[in-house]
Structure 1
Amino acid sequence: MAAIGVHLGATCACAAVYKDGRADVVANDAGDRVTPAVVAFSESEEVVGLAAKQSRIRNISNTVVKVKQILGRSAGDPQAEKYIAESKCSIIEKNGKLQYEIDNKLINPEDVAKLIFSKMKETAQSALGSDVNDVVVTVPFDFGENQKNALGEAAAAAGFNVMRLIHEPSAALLAYGIGQDSPTGKSNVLVYKLGGTSLSITVIEVNSGIYRVLATNTDDSIGGVCFTEALAQHLASEFQRSCKHDIRGNPRAMMKLMNSADIAKHSLSTLGSANCFVDSLYDGLDFDCNVSRARFELICSSLFSKCVEAIKNLLQQVGFTADDINKVVLCGGSARIPKLQQLIKDIFPTVELLNSIPPDEVIPIGAAIEAGILLGKENTLLEEEALIECSAKDILLKGVDESGADKFTVLFPSGTPLPARRQHTLHAPGNISSVCLELYESLGKGPMNEEDKFAQIVLQDLDKKEDGLHDILTVLTMKRDGSLHVTCTDQDTGKCEIITVEVAS
C-alpha cells in the first residue's frame, strides 16, 4: 500500500510518497523536488509551476501567486485586504466570495488551489507508477475552519481522498520521528518554519507520543521573499552604479531582477558566491553581477535579526529559557540559509538542531508518514488530532437550593474532552453583600466532603437587595493541561473576580 503527503505553501508546493515503510519527496516533470505554487492562465490552457513563474514577467495580470494567503478568506479580512492590495491579478467580490477576474472570467481561489493539487497528484502518481489517491494535507496552525475546509475541498476536487488535515508543526515532528522513538518521557521541541511569505515558530510539548502546542506565533511581515527583495534592491543599486539607470520604478525590470535574485539566493545556501545575469534588463543593456555569501548576509543582516528575535520573544511568552528546549526542527525553504542556521545554533548552543532533511521537504515527508500511519502500515502513533485530553474527575459548583440546603451542579463531567468552556448563573439571596463560590472535584462516588473542595472565589461589596436575588455569572474554561480559569461577575454591579487553578483535574 502507498499514500501521499502534500504541503501547499504560499510560494511552493511539495509532494512526498509513503511506500514500503518509508517516505520520500518526489521530483516533478522538470526534475525539481519543489514546485512553485504559481498558476498562469491563457485562453487555451492553465500552466502550473516553474513555467508559470518564468512567464510571469510577460503575463503578470493573468498569473496567480500565493493563493494560499486568500484561500477560505472573505472580503474585510485584514489578510485578504493586504493580499488584494498587493495582487497584480484583479480580485473582486461577488456573492460574498472573493474571485480572480482573468480575461473577463471569474476564477475561485479554490479552483486555483485545485490545479496545484492536481499537479502534485500527477507528480506523486508518476513516481509511484499507480493511481494512489489517499493523501494527508498539511495546514498552518493558525488556519481557521473556513481556510481548512477550503484547502481540503480543493484537494478533494483534484481527485484526492483526503484522509486527514494535519498541522504543519506536527508534520515536522513526525518527519523526524519525534515522539515515536521515545514513547515515554517529556520533551519540548521548537519548530522553526521560515517559508516564502511568513515566519511561524511553535513550541510543542511531546509527552508519551502525544503532541501539545504550548505556544505559537506567526509573523506575516517576514519570509523568504523579503531576502529576495533585499538582494534585488542591491542589484538595482549595482546596475545604477555601473549603467547610470535607476530601474526601481520599472516593474518589468524589477521583476527580472527579482527572478535573478531568487536564483542567486538559493545558490548562496550551498555556494560561496553566485552570479546574477539578466539579458536585456533595461534599454537593451545586459546586467552581470557577482554576489558573495558574505555580501548577501550583510545586505540581509536586519532581516536575520528579526528572524532570531522572534524566537526569543516566543520563549519569553512561554516562560522558557533556551535550556528548556530539547530539540529544534527547521522547516520552510528559507531555513536553508546557513547564516540563519548559525544564528539559531547560537541561541541554542547545547540543543540538537534537526536539519538533516532539507527544510523545504520536512513538512510533506511528515504528512506522508502520517498517511502511512493511517493506512496502518507502521506503528499506530496517536497524534494530536487523534488523541484528545479529557478531564479525569467531575468538576462541581456548590450552590444553595430554595430550602437552604447545599446543592451541587456538575459543570464538567469526567471524560469531558478538553479544552472546554462552561457558563453557569448562580442565584444568591439579595440581602447579603458577599457571595462565596466553591468548586469541588469528585469521582462521582458518595456525597461531597470538605476535602473535595479545591478552589473558592469570593465576590464582595455587592449592593444589598430587599427583595430579589444576586445573579452571579460564572464562566469556567478548562485547558488541555487540566488548568481551570474561572471568572465570576455580578450581573447588577459588574463586579468581577478571576482565579486560575493550575491543575484542577
Structure 2
Amino acid sequence: MRLDPQRSLRLKPPSPPSPPEEEEYAIGIDLGTTYSRVAVWHKDNVEIIHNDHGNRKTASYVAFTETDENNLVGDAAFNQVVRNTANSIFDTKRLIGRRFSDASVQSDVKLWPFKVIEGPGDKPMIMVTDNGQEKQCSAEDISSMVLEKMRKIAENYLGSTVKNAVITVPAYFTDSQRRATKDAGISAGLNVLRIMNEPSAAAIAYGLNKKAGWSSPRNVMIFDLGGGTLDVSLLTMSKSGDFKVKATAGDTHLGGQDFDNRLVNYCVEEFKREHKLDVSGNKRALRRIKNECEKAKKRLSFESDIGVEIDCLCENTDFTITFTRAIFEQVNMDLFIKCMDPVAKCLRDASMDVSSIDDVVLAGGSTRIPIVQQLLQEFFKGKELCKGVNPDEAVAYGAAVQAAALTGNGKGEFIQDYTLKDVAPLALVMGIADKKIMKLIPRNSLIPVKKNLDLCTPTDDQVFMNFPIYESESSIPANLNFLGECSIRDIPPAPKHVHKYTVFFEIDPDGILSVFAVDKSTGQEKEIIINRDKPKNPQGILRTKR
C-alpha cells in the first residue's frame, strides 16, 4: 500500500508552519519472545518509542484477572506475574503458527505455568480465567493484544492514529507462523505493510549507517540471538544501498529463555539438595526463581559472579546461591555450541568460507553473553565482531526504516537510496505418487517468487485432485513440514488427461504462500481449496477420486 504523497511525513516542514494535517505515520514493531519494541521514522530520524512506564522495551506479556474485566498487557502484566502465575501469558512467539503435537510445543508446555490444551485442527489453545470465566485463547489472540499495546504506545507518543506497520519475525519462521503473525497484526487494528525478517531489519540498521564509508560491496553476516529464537543471515551490501540476502539459517526454538530455564533447573536441584524440598511443581516458586535467574544472566555478561537471595521460597525457607559465569556457561554449553550450527549452515548455503565475510554484526540481547561472542569470534578465526548497533533495538530500527520507505513517509537519501532483496528460508515441495516429493521452489530463493506446474487428470471421470505441499530444509521425508493439502474440485467427468491445469505457487514479500490454478482449456482461474489440517496420510501422495 502506498500512501497519498500529499499526506506523507514532511521531514523538513516549512517555516513558519501552516496548520498541520494529521500525518499518516508508519511504525516498525519488533514483536519479541520476551520483550517488544516499537519505532518510527520521525523528524528526520528513527525514534525508539518509550512506553507508559518510561521504558524503551515492553514485556510481551498478557495477564488475565479473575475479578476484573480489564486485561493487563505489557509491563503491567509482567509486574504482577508472581502473584498471578497461571493467568499470566508469555512466550507466545514460541507457540504461534505451530501445532499442538509439535515436539517443541510438547517440550514447552511442561515448563509454562499456564495451561495449554489441544484445540480443533491440532491447534494449541491457552486456558485462562478471565473475570471469573474460564476461556481459551490462541497464540494469535495474545500476540494481537501485545501488538495493539505497541500501536497505542506509538499513538500516545505521536498524538495521531496509527494504522500502518511493519512487523518483524524470525527469518526461519514457517509459512504458518508468518501467516498467524500477520493475522494477529490485522486483529490489532493494523494495516500490515510487511512481515519482515528480523536479521534483515538489523542489516538495514547497520548498513544504512555504515555504507557511506564503504569503497566496495561487503559480505555481512547478521547473528541475531534473542529471547527465544536464533537467526543467521548472510547479505551482500553495497555503498549504493543494495542489500541482498544470500542465505539464511536459524533455530526458532533457541534463545535467552532456554538459558534461563537451565539456570532455573540448576536452582531447583540445589534447593532440593540443600533443604530436601522440591519446588519443581510450585509454579509461584518457579516464577520467582526464573525472574532472579534472568537478572543474574544479564549481570553475568558484565560481572564474574552474582549472588541471588529469595526469601521464603518454600515452607518459610530462604534460598541463597552464588552464580559464577563459569557455572552459567557450564549448564548451557551445549546450547551455546548449538548456536554455531546455523552459522556454518549459512556459509555452506552461500558457498562462502569465513575469510569471505567482511563484517559479523550482533543483534538480539543474548549476543551480549561473553561465551557467545567468544565462540563466534573463534569460528571466524579471531575477527572482531561489529558492536556498533544497539543489539536490543536494531530490529525495531530497521523495521521503522522499512515502514517509512514502503509508505513514502521517509524523504531524503538515507531512506530512499536502498533496496532489500530477501529470501525464502525453506524449500517448497509437493507430494507426488509413490511417496515421492517434487521440489518446487528451492531454499534461499529470492522473494517474491512464483513457480508454475502443469497437472492433468490421470484417471477417467475424475472429479477432484488433491496434492499435499510441504516446507523443508532437506529432501528427507521425515523432515517435511506439512503446509496444507491443495484441492482442485468440481472437475467435470471426462476421459483421463482431458482436463489440464496450470497450478501457480507464489511466495510473496512477506514469505507467505498462495496457490491458484488456471484451466488451460478455458483460461479461467480455478479455485484451489487448501486444507491446513494435518493429514492422516502424511507421506505426500497425489490422490485421485472418481
Q: Secondary structure at the match of 1:5?
A: strand
TM-score (norm 2): 0.65
**1:376 aligns to what?**
410
**1:128 aligns to what?**
158
Q: What is the correspondence of 1:206-285 to structure 2 with a 5 Å cutoff?
A: 206=237, 209-240=241-272, 242-248=274-280, 250-285=282-317
1:158 partner amino acid: A
Q: Does 1:20 align with 2:56?
A: no
Q: Residue 246 of structure 2 contacts residue 423 of structure 2 at CA under 8 Å; is this kept in 1?
A: no
1:171 partner amino acid: A
Specify which of 326, 345, 351 is matched with residue 377 of structure 2: 345
**1:91 aligns to what?**
117
CA distance in 2, matches of 1:249, 1:50: 26
2:182 partner amino acid: G
Q: Residue 110 of structure 1 contacts residue 150 of structure 1 at CA under 8 Å; is this kept in 2?
A: yes
Q: Residue 233 of structure 2 contacts residue 248 of structure 2 at CA under 8 Å; is this kept in 1?
A: yes
Q: What is the correspondence of 1:42-121 to structure 2 with a 5 Å cutoff?
A: 42=65, 43-44=67-68, 45-74=70-99, 87=112, 88-94=114-120, 98-103=124-129, 104-121=134-151
**1:324 aligns to what?**
356
1:68 partner amino acid: K
CA distance in 1, matches of 2:410, 2:60: 31
Q: Residue 336 of structure 1 contacts residue 358 of structure 1 at CA under 8 Å; is this kept in 2?
A: no
**1:163 aligns to what?**
193
CA distance in 2, matches of 1:98, 1:90: 6
Residue identity over aligned pairs, in percent, reads: 32
Q: Residue 60 of structure 2 contacts residue 74 of structure 2 at CA under 8 Å; is this kept in 1?
A: yes
**1:30 aligns to what?**
53
Q: Which deviates more from structure 2 when the two are superposed, residues 21-30 or residues 345-354?
A: 345-354
CA distance in 2, matches of 1:80, 1:292: 31
1:33 partner amino acid: R
Per-residue CA deviation, residues 40-80 of structure 1 (Å, 9 max, x unaligned), is: 11242211223423433443332222222333445555655
Deviation at 1:238, TM superposition (A): 4.0
CA distance in 2, matches of 1:28, 1:5: 15
CA distance in 1, matches of 2:403, 2:448: 25
CA distance in 2, matches of 1:94, 1:418: 32
Unaligned runs of 5+ in 1: 389-415, 426-476, 480-505
Deviation at 1:267, TM superposition (A): 2.0
CA distance in 2, matches of 1:95, 1:295: 43
- Which has more radius of gyration? 1
Q: Secondary structure at the match of 2:340?
A: helix
CA distance in 1, matches of 2:233, 2:202: 11
Cα distance change, pair 347–92 in 1 and its aligned pair in 2 (3 A):
closer
Cα distance change, pair 423–296 in 1 and its aligned pair in 2 (3 A):
closer
**1:367 aligns to what?**
399
Deviation at 1:316, TM superposition (A): 3.7
Cα distance change, pair 70–226 in 1 and its aligned pair in 2 (3 A):
closer
2:410 partner amino acid: G
Per-residue CA deviation, residues 471-491 of structure 1 (Å, 9 max, x unaligned), is: xxxxxx9x9xxxxxxxxxxxx
**1:40 aligns to what?**
63
Deviation at 1:358, TM superposition (A): 2.6
Per-residue CA deviation, residues 112-150 of structure 1 (Å, 9 max, x unaligned), is: 112101221222233334444432211222334443333
Q: Residue 94 of structure 2 contacts residue 252 of structure 2 at CA under 8 Å; is this kept in 1?
A: no
Q: What is the Cα-based RMSD across aligned positions, in Å?
A: 3.6
1:56 partner amino acid: V
CA distance in 2, matches of 1:95, 1:315: 37
**1:443 aligns to what?**
none
Q: Does 1:151 align with 2:210?
A: no
TM-score (norm 1): 0.70
Q: What is the correspondence of 1:1-16 to structure 2 with a 5 Å cutoff?
A: 1=9, 2-16=25-39
2:56 partner amino acid: R
Q: Paired residues, what number?
A: 403
CA distance in 2, matches of 1:344, 1:131: 43
Per-residue CA deviation, residues 292-321 of structure 1 (Å, 9 max, x unaligned), is: 334433443333222234423432444322
Q: Residue 244 of structure 2 contacts residue 421 of structure 2 at CA under 8 Å; is this kept in 1?
A: no
Deviation at 1:290, TM superposition (A): 3.1
CA distance in 2, matches of 1:85, 1:209: 46
Per-residue CA deviation, residues 260-305 of structure 1 (Å, 9 max, x unaligned), is: 1011112222334333121211111122333233443344333322
Q: Which deviates more from structure 2 when the two are superposed, residues 129-138 or residues 11-20?
A: 129-138
CA distance in 2, matches of 1:272, 1:126: 41
Q: Residue 3 of structure 1 contacts residue 19 of structure 1 at CA under 8 Å; is this kept in 2?
A: no
Q: Secondary structure at the match of 2:319?
A: strand
CA distance in 1, matches of 2:328, 2:423: 45
Cα distance change, pair 269–51 in 1 and its aligned pair in 2 (3 A):
farther
Q: Residue 116 of structure 2 contacts residue 124 of structure 2 at CA under 8 Å; is this kept in 1?
A: no
**1:141 aligns to what?**
171
2:151 partner amino acid: K
CA distance in 1, matches of 2:96, 2:330: 36
1:34 partner amino acid: K
Q: What is the correspondence of 1:366-405 to structure 2 with a 5 Å cutoff?
A: 366-374=398-406, 375-379=409-413, 380-384=416-420
Q: Secondary structure at the match of 2:50?
A: coil
Q: Residue 260 of structure 2 contacts residue 293 of structure 2 at CA under 8 Å; is this kept in 1?
A: yes
Q: Residue 138 of structure 1 contacts residue 363 of structure 1 at CA under 8 Å; is this kept in 2?
A: yes
Q: What is the correspondence of 1:404-419 to structure 2 with a 5 Å cutoff?
A: 419=449
**1:335 aligns to what?**
367
Deviation at 1:363, TM superposition (A): 0.5
Higher relative contact order (CA 8 A, sep 6+): 2
Deviation at 1:173, TM superposition (A): 0.6
**2:530 aligns to what?**
none
Deviation at 1:164, TM superposition (A): 2.4
